[in-house]
Chain A
Amino acid sequence: MKNKGFIGPIGDDLPSLIPIVFALTIFFASFNSALSNFDSKNSSFSNDLETLKVARILRSNGYIVNLENFRQLCSLVQVNSIKYMAGIAEFNALPEDSLNPEKNYDFVFEASNGEELKPLDELFYKDPKFSAGNLEGVFYCTNLKNLEEFNKGVFDYKKTILRVYPVILEKDRGNGLGIIASPMQLVVVSWTQ
């Protein structure tokens, strides 16, 4: 009678194991979820900051004298954690609210379903002194080894960041009329795979 219902030291604690296992499962699940959330947000912040860094270097004092000046600024950018494509575009190249890449998908890069993107020499400003048909005179800056990678549809990637800044670019009016300081846009697109 003394041992009635007693099924051993572990057997007697079996009902209490159920909430313990349940508690441990909840704890580790939320812990794991929080960790991955922290990691994802940190990575996103890091990408944002790197993009700002690229833009700050390229923007410099906001006054770009010529292509050589821009290329010099481009050579100072040392960013590897993100992939970026930056360049100087005419003001009418971007519509209002350019910060919304989805909304301006077609406007900015003339893309259709992420397949055919506008060639870089049409997308970004090209110094008229340079002959057409190549990227020699184009105001662009990137860390891509293969430019085709950009043409695969940057907005299909996990997170794409678009930053636009007004800048001044000196332009030669030709015919001996001299130089003007023209308002242009520095466009920086960055993404991670």
Chain B
Amino acid sequence: MDSMSAKGQAAVTDALFLLLVVGILSASLTVFSIQYGSTIQKYISSQYIIDFETSALKTMLYSTVSRDSGKTVYDAKQVDYLLAVVKEDYLDDADLNSTTKDILRSALKISMKPLSSSFDYLFLIETTDLSRENDFVLIYLYSSPSLPGEAHLEYYCTAKDSLNIQRFLESVGSFVPVASGIKLSKVNERNKNADSVSAIAELALWVGTDLNSIRGKSVVFTENELSTIRFDDASNIGCNADFTGSCAGWLACKRITN
């Protein structure tokens, strides 16, 4: 072969290699630039959600509620902070009656209104005294409907312990929790004095998910059934028993219809 002609072919091959390398580089650069910022965007979104939830918790607990039945806060003679009403109700029997639960639920729904069509949330009040087992004062679940266009579903739930709640939240996907310490009081049976009880109010928010699509994570029961639920009974409907035989991440709930 003529030496000058071979030289020309080598130059074309080099140029094609250059084109290949530059093509790969450019493609990588384009892919990188498209993906750039997704982590920052997630961070900014989560910051907003955390700010929102913190505000919502505070707004709910410090909202004024009427102490005169049948009157609004604008015309009632006696009004109080919602947190004070919760404390008062908890004092005698370490439980909340249905009226207080409904007031809490309504206040929470008002606070969460701007995000409630796109997000689901779980609100709970849990005592955290070391001297006794954790005790859930209230667990409220606001969940997306199975079919689009239907109203959201609301539940009062029970759970075995905090781990149970944690596993439930992990099953719904990426969630953002915030918590705030509160003080409740309970009558001491021996000396009839009011003992202070440490508790947390926690709110966790996640993008709306049909809970039916998550196998065995929440089951709806009637009120009678709820009172007899045993969380270590693997034969429960929807129970996804872990190695200890406990229904992991399983919430037993009662649908709120009003």
Contact = CB atoms under 8 A, between A and B. Distances in A.
Interface of A: 3-6, 12-13, 15-20, 22-24, 26-27, 29-31, 33-34, 37-38, 41-42, 44-45, 48-49, 52, 55-56, 59, 61-63, 91, 94, 96-99, 163-168, 173, 177-178, 180-183, 185-186
A59 B44 contact: no
A41 B110 CA distance: 34
Contacts of B36: 37-38, 41
Contacts of B163: none
Interface of B: 2, 4-5, 7-8, 11-12, 14-16, 18-19, 21-23, 25-27, 29-30, 32-34, 36-37, 40-41, 44, 47-48, 51-52, 54-56, 58-60, 62-64, 73-75, 77, 79, 81, 107, 110-118
A160 to B, nearest CB: 15
Interface centre among A20, A55, A186 (most CB of B within 10 A): A20
B51 A59 contact: yes
B55 A30 contact: no
A178 B79 contact: yes
Given A23-B22, A183-B60, A183-B107, 7 more contacts: A4-B2, A5-B5, A62-B55, A63-B58, A97-B117, A99-B118, A168-B58
Contact of B63 (A15, A16, A168): A168
Contact of A34 (B33, B52, B62, B110): B33
Contact of A181 (B7, B12, B34, B62): B62
Interface centre among B7, B8, B41 (most CB of A within 10 A): B8
A31 B114 CA distance: 41
25 contacts: A4-B2, A6-B4, A15-B12, A16-B12, A18-B15, A29-B26, A31-B26, A38-B33, A41-B40, A42-B37, A45-B40, A45-B41, A45-B44, A52-B44, A61-B58, A91-B110, A98-B113, A98-B114, A99-B118, A164-B52, A164-B114, A165-B51, A166-B55, A177-B74, A183-B111
A181 B80 CA distance: 9
Nearest to A164: B114
Given A13-B11, A16-B15, A23-B19, A181 B44 contact: no
Contacts of B15: 16-20, 23
Contacts of A26: 19, 22-23, 26
B114 A94 contact: yes
A99 B207 CA distance: 13
A38 B51 CA distance: 27
Given A13-B11, A41-B36, A167 B59 contact: yes
